[in-house]
A and B are shown apart, each in its own frame.
Chain A
Amino acid sequence: MSTAKAPSAKRGKLVNLRNFPGFTSTSWFVMFFLYIPLLYVVIYSFNSSRIGSIWKSFSVKWYGKVLENTDIQRALKNSIEVGFAATILSTVLAVMAALGLLRMQRAGKAVAMALIGAPLIIAEIVLAVGTLGLFIAVGVPLGKVGLIVAHTAFCIPFALLPIRARLSQLDMAPFEAASDLGANERQILRRITLPLLSPAIVAGALLAFAISIDDFITSFFVAGPGSTTLPVYIFGMIRSTVTPEVNAISTLLLLFSGIVLLGSYLIQRKRR
């Protein structure tokens, strides 16, 4: 870098702040790095060859195989059932927690926040084996019920995130007006709080659903043989053999995530 330059030259650099040396190339590199593995999965899901790494010709036969595979159908059904149940439960509990915590004492709030935040900080493997221990000790059979309980627990912090953010931005005037006009707690909750929170509740629910559908580690330990979820099934497939089918399921899952994301984007944009 040149050191002795006239002030005018230094002023010239000021415009260059947006084009810092290396920033653009690093950014392009990072974007490619983030997306090339995903693109590879998508492209090779249309490969007719049985050997994953050799491109033969375009084909959708692996999608046909995926759609015919009854194990995959069952796993997908399990994933969606658990995902829906965990989303509804975790969203309801998150709304209750968000509202209740507003007026809770400091100590109670600290305990509650530690419990809510634990899944974000403590390694999932630890909670997964602990939950396995709990279910065995209490006698909860390994299966869908256990899965729903476990998923609900780690979805709560994600469902809570947008709700808490929205609560802290809410305009207080409607609440004050309502209570001045004699509305009771229930009426305020139903007619003001929940409608105002609804975009955040939807965003939280979508986040919870995405987290539940994608979960692998907890499901791996808690699912039991009868209620394998899709990620657990895919993991087994990847481990045993390399079949191009996995690329096809993965692409379908990517598409699904994309739709959920687009949905949440559209909902939030409409509300704004």
Chain B
Amino acid sequence: MTATTTPIKKPVKRARPGQSSPKLAYLPIIFLAFAIGVPLLIIVVYSFLEKPSQGTGVKWVFTTENYKALFIQEKLDGTTAFDTRYIKVLWTSFYYSLITTVVTLVLSIPVAMWIATREARKRTLLVALVTLPFWISILIRTYGMRQIIADEGPIGKFLGLFDISWSILYSPPATILGLIYVFLPFMILPIYASAERFDFRLAEAAYDLGAKRMTVVRRVILPSIRPGIISGVALVFIPALGSFLQSDMLGGGKTNMVANVIANNFGQARNWPFGSALAVLLIILTLLFVLIIQGIAQRRGDKVELV
């Protein structure tokens, strides 16, 4: 995927292919400045504008009300009260992403180690099986999960045989399950990439020197696959935080994550400036998380490139 983790190497001066002129990069940069840079700038600008009294869009009047509205609710009689609704939305997004990250991590370490210790032929097949979901639309994967966990789906039918009622669709656990399902391969693959490079003779040496199994895991194996873990955490947590489809299709609108609220403000609620303020907050949280991950990686001496 998109994050690579390599041990820090001294930069080596080398000849460059073709000695192409840096001017070649101007066109892509100008295009991206227009198609990525300007939209981000627009979101920041819109977040400081007023919403028009009618219709969609913005009114070009400067205001900080949108940010205040994230925390303070103005009542009809003019009094104000602390508003926890949007803090809850942000907390929900953070909390779901955290659970997703922890569960995928706990599942992925055994899977990655298991794949890494298979024979070469089997390993190729298993890696292909884990990679395949990358190529499959998240919409379809989420839709498949919805049918599996539906009340009258296979799990519900099976539990019905024992008179156990099953009803998790359109609830927070369904959203979290969907997030785990969709992002699991993002955790397995980078950890596998680290585990594959692990020299298993080190573990043997530790055994020979009398280390117990858990000690080998904690002191020898985990530190070796740490770069993969750091990449995996970033690759799962970041997209989970901004995810839209899982809470929309599985949470049934009851468990709004921040992306759903942003989408709603640009859709039915028709409050672009407020949606923009939420989007700015989401960008800030994401960048904060990137900085934390990079800080951890740097302190540990791993080089984590998220781009």
Q: Mark A residues whose CB is within 8 Å of B.
A: 1, 3, 7, 10-11, 13-14, 17-18, 20, 22-24, 26-27, 30-31, 33-38, 40-41, 44, 52-54, 93-94, 96-97, 99-105, 108, 111-127, 129-134, 136-137, 149-150, 152-153, 156-158, 161, 167, 170, 172, 175-176, 179, 185, 188-189, 192-193, 196, 210, 213-214, 216-217, 221, 231, 234-235, 238, 246, 250, 253-254, 257-258, 260-261, 265
Whether B297 sits at the interface, judged by CB under 8 Å, is: no
Interchain residue pairs with CB less than 8 A apart (11): A14-B203, A20-B114, A20-B213, A111-B29, A119-B36, A129-B263, A129-B275, A172-B14, A172-B17, A234-B140, A260-B135
With A34-B133, A96-B25, A196-B17 given, name 18 new contacts (CB 8 A): A17-B204, A38-B144, A103-B22, A112-B32, A115-B33, A122-B242, A125-B259, A125-B263, A126-B40, A130-B279, A137-B42, A189-B18, A192-B17, A214-B136, A214-B138, A216-B137, A217-B244, A261-B132
Could you say which of A116, A126, A172 contacts B43, with CB atoms under 8 Å apart?
Answer: A126
Binary interface profile of B, 26-40, with partner A (CB < 8 Å = 1, else 0)? 111101110111111
User: Is B25 within 8 A of A97, CB to CB?
Assistant: yes
Q: State whether B29 touches A41 (Cβ < 8 A).
A: no
Complexed CA–CA distance, A223 and B221 (Å) = 48
User: A175–B15 contact, CB under 8 A?
Assistant: yes
Bound-state Cα–Cα, A131 to B42, Å: 8
Q: Which residues of B contact A176 (CB under 8 A)?
A: 15
User: Chain B contacts of A44 at CB under 8 A?
Assistant: 147
On B, residues with C-beta under 8 Å from A are 2, 14-29, 31-33, 35-40, 42-43, 46, 57, 107-108, 110-111, 113-115, 117, 126, 128-130, 132-133, 135-141, 143-145, 147-148, 150, 152-154, 157, 181, 184-185, 188, 200, 203-204, 207-208, 210, 212-214, 238-239, 241-245, 249, 259, 262-263, 266, 272, 275-276, 279, 282-283, 286-287, 290, 306-307
Q: Is the CB of A122 within 8 A of B283?
A: yes
B140: which A residues are within 8 A, CB to CB?
38, 41, 234, 250, 253-254
Q: Is the CB of A27 within 8 A of B111?
A: yes
Cβ contact within 8 Å between B144 and A185: no
Residues of B within 8 Å of A172, CB to CB, are: 14-15, 17
A interface, by DSSP: helix, strand, loop or mixed? helix
Residue pair A129, B266 in contact (C-beta under 8 Å) = yes
Tell me which of B31, B46, B276 contacts A153 (CB under 8 A): B31
Q: Is the CB of A37 within 8 A of B139?
A: no
- Of A26, A40, A126, chain B has the most CB atoms within 10 Å of the CB of A126
In angstroms, Cα B39 to Cα A75, docked, is: 26
Q: Which of A18, A34, A37, A114 has the largest count of B CB atoms less than 10 A from its CB?
A: A37
The answer, among B28, B128, B139, B263, for a CB contact under 8 Å with A97, is B28
| A residues in contact with B2, CB < 8 Å | 120, 157-158, 161
Tell me the complex Cα distance, A24–B114, Å.
Answer: 7
| Residues of B contacting A221 in the complex (Cβ-Cβ under 8 angstroms) | 263, 266
Most A CB within 10 A of own CB, among B17, B113, B279 = B17
List, in ascending order, chain A residues with CB within 8 A of B290's CB: 121
> In the assembled complex, which residues on chain A have CB atoms less than 8 Å from the CB atom of B307?
113-114, 116-117, 120-121, 157
Q: Tell me if A99 and B110 are in contact (CB < 8 A).
A: no
User: Which of A27, A104, A231 makes the CB contact (< 8 A) with B110?
Assistant: A27
